[in-house]
């Protein structure tokens, strides 16, 4: 006859069993691993992730930084050998075969141009290349007038079947500086997901993306006050599985005779676009939020907010020139 163990023992044994299972399945070294890198794309890159094992976490961060180096190598217009530089040198002469990666990004860029009534336009570079914000150099009116007809996203002709790009006229230049950082963040996140990471934050300059949460709590992302120091924020936004991009007139600029020239160019005038102090866009992935965050500078806060409210998967926060802050409908509801 089987004797039953007294209930107290049974439950004690169960507690012990559970403790053993927990020890086996809950990795003892799990921790947040974080790294900051200032050596790629001329910007600060931050990666933070929850890793079962610190070494695997560090390797994953290496992989994220490799993705960013790759984007820099193929998209930077400062590098004459980059694929984008080769397109700029050759695409006016005829259709040029390009990688699927660049083709897809040019297709996304076109979508953002259409969504923003042409405020986002990678051919801004046809005039934009004459600015050097670090050296305080800008083109004069005659140079702008001469180059301006080449600024129009419709000059970039894409052939999906042949995977080629062609410029419809001479003088057209493209620059993906308006989406490259967001795109590199998305590639970084993809690299982490492929390695099985489910809680992470990746940012490159003003573009960030988050997967998962912080164990039941959202990630809190601060939106900088455009006229105060880097640590001062106007608000903090709780985010889970989302991307966020901020464009600011404080990022790269110089002042001359009281005018602030900064790195977002109005494709219609060829001048620096200064209709807001900053614009933040929240959405599903960072290529998209990066592409859409420049709109408000070109179109102004009201028109831009109208566009942002029309696009289903995004929200926005704009700091107007007078310092007042406006929110898209989705955020107004949440406040
Ligand atoms: P960051 O370079 O820090 O990511 P932004 O996301 O605000 O800053 O992007 C600014 C960059 O966008 C500029 O440096 C330039 O490369 C590019 N750009 C400027 N004007 C336009 C425009 N009208 N359309 C698309 N890209 C632009
Ligand atoms: Mg950006």
Q: Contact, 236 vs 195, CB < 8 A?
A: no
Q: At what angle do helices 54-75 and 180-194 cross, to 10 degrees?
A: 150
Mutate which of 134, 181, 294 for ligand 1? The one with the most ligand atoms within 8 Å of its CB, which is 294
66 lines ligand 1 (CB under 6 A): no
Q: Provide CATH 1.10.3980.10 ranges for the chain.
A: 89-167
Strand intervals (E) in 125-180: 156-159, 164-167
152 lines ligand 1 (CB under 6 A): no
Q: How far is the CA of 95 from the centre of ligand 1 (A)?
A: 26
Nearest of 284, 267, 283, 266 to residue 275 by alpha carbon: 266
Mutate which of 176, 202, 263, 287 for ligand 1? The one with the most ligand atoms within 8 Å of its CB, which is 263
121's enclosing H/E stretch is: none
Q: Show pLDDT as tens, one digit a residue, over the chain (335 residues).
A: 444 434 433 444 444 444 444 445 555 689 999 999 999 999 999 999 999 999 999 999 999 999 999 999 999 999 999 999 999 999 999 999 999 999 999 999 999 999 999 999 999 999 999 999 889 999 999 999 999 999 999 999 999 999 999 999 999 999 999 999 999 999 999 999 999 999 999 999 999 999 999 999 999 999 999 888 878 999 999 999 999 999 998 877 888 888 888 899 999 999 999 999 999 999 999 999 999 999 999 999 999 999 999 999 999 999 999 999 999 999 988 77
Q: Contact, 127 vs 306, CB < 8 A?
A: no
CA end-to-end distance (rounded Å), the chain: 67
Mutate which of 264, 268, 275 for ligand 1? The one with the most ligand atoms within 8 Å of its CB, which is 264
Q: Give the Cα-Cα-Cα angle 89, 94, 95 (nearest 5 degrees).
A: 100
Q: Provide CATH 3.10.520.10 ranges for the chain.
A: 28-77+178-205, 213-335
Compute CA distances 293 → 70, 96, 259, 318, whole Å: 23, 30, 22, 9
- Model-level pTM? 0.91
CATH of domain 213-335: 3.10.520.10
Q: How far is the CA of 206 from the centre of ligand 2 (A)?
A: 6
CA distance 131 to 141: 12
247 lines ligand 1 (CB under 6 A): yes
Q: How far is the CA of 289 from the centre of ligand 2 (A)?
A: 8
Domain 28-77+178-205 annotated CATH 1.20.1440.230? no
**Shortest-distance ligand to the CA of residue 41:** 1
Residue 176: exposure state from Cβ atoms within 10 A (0-12, 13-18, ≥19): buried
Q: What is the pLDDT of residues 22-49, one digit of tens each?
A: 445 555 689 999 999 999 999 999 999 9
Give 185's strand partners.
none
Q: Contact, 272 vs 289, CB < 8 A?
A: no
Selecting from 1.10.3980.10, 1.10.8.640, 3.40.50.1100, 2.160.10.10, what CATH number does the domain 89-167 have?
A: 1.10.3980.10
Q: Contact, 255 vs 249, CB < 8 A?
A: no
């Amino acid at each position: 006859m089987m004797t039953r163990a007294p209930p107290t023992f049974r439950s004690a044994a169960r507690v012990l069993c559970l403790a053993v299972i927990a020890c086996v399945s809950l990795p003892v070294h799990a921790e947040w691993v974080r790294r900051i890198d200032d050596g790629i794309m001329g910007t600060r890159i931050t990666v933070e992730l929850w890793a079962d094992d610190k070494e695997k976490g560090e390797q994953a961060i290496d992989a994220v930084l490799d993705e960013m180096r790759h984007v820099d190598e193929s998209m930077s217009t400062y590098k004459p050998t980059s694929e984008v530089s080769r397109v700029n040198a050759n695409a006016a002469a005829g259709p040029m075969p390009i990688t699927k990666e660049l083709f897809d990004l040019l297709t996304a860029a076109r979508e953002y141009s259409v969504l923003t009534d042409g405020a986002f336009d990678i051919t801004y570079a046809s005039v934009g290349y004459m600015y050097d914000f670090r050296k305080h150099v800008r083109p004069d009116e005659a140079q702008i007038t001469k180059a301006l007809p080449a600024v129009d996203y419709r000059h970039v002709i894409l052939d999906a079947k042949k995977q080629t790009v062609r410029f419809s006229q001479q003088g057209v230049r493209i620059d993906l500086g308006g989406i490259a950082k967001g795109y590199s963040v998305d590639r970084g996140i993809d690299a982490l997901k492929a390695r099985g990471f489910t809680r992470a934050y990746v940012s490159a300059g003003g573009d960030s993306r988050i997967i998962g949460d912080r164990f039941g709590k959202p990630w809190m992302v601060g939106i900088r006050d455009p006229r105060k120091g880097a640590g001062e924020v106007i608000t903090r936004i709780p985010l889970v599985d989302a991307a966020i991009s901020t464009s600011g007139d404080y990022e790269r600029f110089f002042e001359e005779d009281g005018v602030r020239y900064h790195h977002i160019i109005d494709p219609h005038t060829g001048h620096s676009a200064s209709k807001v102090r900053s614009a933040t866009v929240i959405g599903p992935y960072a290529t998209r939020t990066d592409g859409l965050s420049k709109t408000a500078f070109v179109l102004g806060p009201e028109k831009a907010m109208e566009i942002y409210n029309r696009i289903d998967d995004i929200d926005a926060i704009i700091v107007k020139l007078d310092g007042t802050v406006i929110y898209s409908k989705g955020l107004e509801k949440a406040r």
